[in-house]
Structure 1
Amino acid sequence: MSRRGWWLATAVVVVVAVAVGVWMMLGRKHSGDNCAAVRDMIAVNRDHSAQVDSQANAGVQPPQESYEQWANRLDELAGEVDDPKLSPHAHRMAELAHQSVALNPAMLAELSASQPGAGPAATKYAELNQQFVAEQRDLAQACPA
């Protein structure tokens, strides 16, 4: 095969690979398989929690950016959920993640200060966490692994 033939064959393979990739990405988003995105949200949260726990056990405070990346990823995945029964829960879960990330610096400051009991930021953080867990539970029940 000539050099031109190889270039042409390579170009065709690349175009087909890109087309298949785009088709798969768009097809997944619009295929009605909302549970794939929901399960991804749950996996992202599980992985983030494990990372935070591991760092805390090592005496390291995870950077605020890692929390922001977690919340942003949940938001991206929630955007892929268009089922009318699942979408409100997915979006609420992502919204609660963003709210808890915003409270994180104040909560950490309260926890490091010498004060009796939890402060207002830590109390609000705990409330958000309860709501977050409830939304995740509802999604997990609707889309079991």
Structure 2
Amino acid sequence: MSRRWWWVAAAAAVIVAVVAGSWIFLGRKDSGDSCAVVRDMIAINRDHSAQIDSQTNAGVEPSQASYEQWANRLGDLSGQIDDPKLSPHAHRMADLAHQSVALNPAVLAELSAPQPGVGPAATKYAELNQQFVAEQRTLAQACPA
């Protein structure tokens, strides 16, 4: 074999090693960073739920502002996720949070008025909550604690 062939083979091996190493390093870094943000989103949701439960059990009406802060924080965090497998779920989770927050006043109005059954806002809220939980479950399975 000629010297030229060895140089070409060595150069090709170096290029393959650099590309593979970069892909492994950067791929894990992005996924790891994205999973850290996903876990933050799940923790923020858990903390928010605990806060709302605590206030409700104490007979205190949670403020609309507290719901808006929660949804905005989820939206901010979802924007930090680069992983293409996680990002759509995180964005949907944040969007669903914003949609449910927007329904809060209508749900409260329905609950305060006498009705024979569940109103349309409460029904829509329950649907949004089911979708939210499904997105969160998908993210939690992709990024276990």
Match of 1:131 in 2: 131
Distance 2:116 2:60 in 1: 24
Distance 1:133 1:121 in 2: 18
Q: Give SS of 2:80's match.
A: coil
In the TM superposition, what is the alpha-carbon distance from 1:99 to its structure 2 partner? 0.1
Match of 2:120 in 1: 120
- Structure 1 unaligned segments of length 5 or more: list them: 1-30
Residue 140 (structure 1) aligned with residue 131 (structure 2): no
Moved over 4 A (4+): none
- Structure 1 residues 77-130: Cα deviation after superposition (integer angstroms, max 9, x where no partner): 000101110000000000000000000000011011110111000000000000
1:21-40 alignment, distance < 5 Å:
31-32=29-30, 33-40=33-40
Residue 51 (structure 1) aligned with residue 51 (structure 2): yes
Q: Which amino acid aligns with 1:136?
A: Q
Distance 2:55 2:122 in 1: 20
Q: Give SS of 1:85's match.
A: coil
In the TM superposition, what is the alpha-carbon distance from 1:48 to its structure 2 partner? 0.3
- Structure 1 residues 27-61: Cα deviation after superposition (integer angstroms, max 9, x where no partner): xxxx4110000000000000000000000001111
TM-score, normalising length from structure 1?
0.78
Q: Give SS of 1:122's match.
A: helix
Q: Which amino acid aligns with 1:70?
A: W
1:70-81 alignment, distance < 5 Å:
70-81=70-81
Distance 1:140 1:116 in 2: 38
Match of 1:17 in 2: none
Residue 65 (structure 1) aligned with residue 65 (structure 2): yes
Match of 2:12 in 1: none
- Structure 2 unaligned segments of length 5 or more: list them: 1-28
